[in-house]
Structure 1
Amino acid sequence: MLDWKNYRKQLVARIGEIGASSPDTLAGYQTLSKAGNKHNLLGAKTRELIALAVAVTTRCDGCITVHVAEALKHGATQEEITEALGVAVALNAGAAMVYSARVIDAVKSHEAA
């Protein structure tokens, strides 16, 4: 398994290098990242739990290490994180079902041609 804390430090350093070379790119990303804070309707913990579920579905290790730290900082428990991950698992399975239906649709289309 990864050393997640060290990975986070390395990642932040590399992203800092990207920001030095392309400050507008980093600024744009930061604007998007902070957008949910403006009205704070969901609260920081809920946003972090959502971020973790999305991190799993997008397979983003960097997102995982950043948002685990933030979720814990905002009081998320391992049980809450696990429940959010269950949503990610279900969505990935659901997406596979949807795309399976698309395959069957393609089969029917090709057979009809």
Structure 2
Amino acid sequence: MVAAGHGNAMASRLIHRAGNEPGWFLYAAACALVEADRTRPGTAEHIAALPGVTLLDLDLPSALAVARETTWSAAHTEYAAQPSIDRPDGAVVATTAPQAWKDRPVRVLDLNP
């Protein structure tokens, strides 16, 4: 999310596609949104206002998953990336820090050039 505010071309393309192409979805875990806003104030409002972004609330199942981890942002994002009824194939974590996801059970899209 912070990468999108820093002019990352790949992040911008994902946002554009999610807002303009059928079948493209972009999700933002609420806890990751909070952390992004702490890193770069204004990010949360910007991301939340984008038409192609679906915010994922911290509901009871995700809160229980977050409670078992040390960082809320990564835990909520990892939980959101797992297969679910809404996302049977799970989701891909788009990040500029792919090494942080190395030992986690998620698919990763490296947003670095």
TM-score normalized with structure 1 length:
0.32
TM-score normalized with structure 2 length:
0.32
Q: Higher Cα Rg: structure 1 or 2?
A: 1
As a proportion of its length, which structure holds more strand? 2
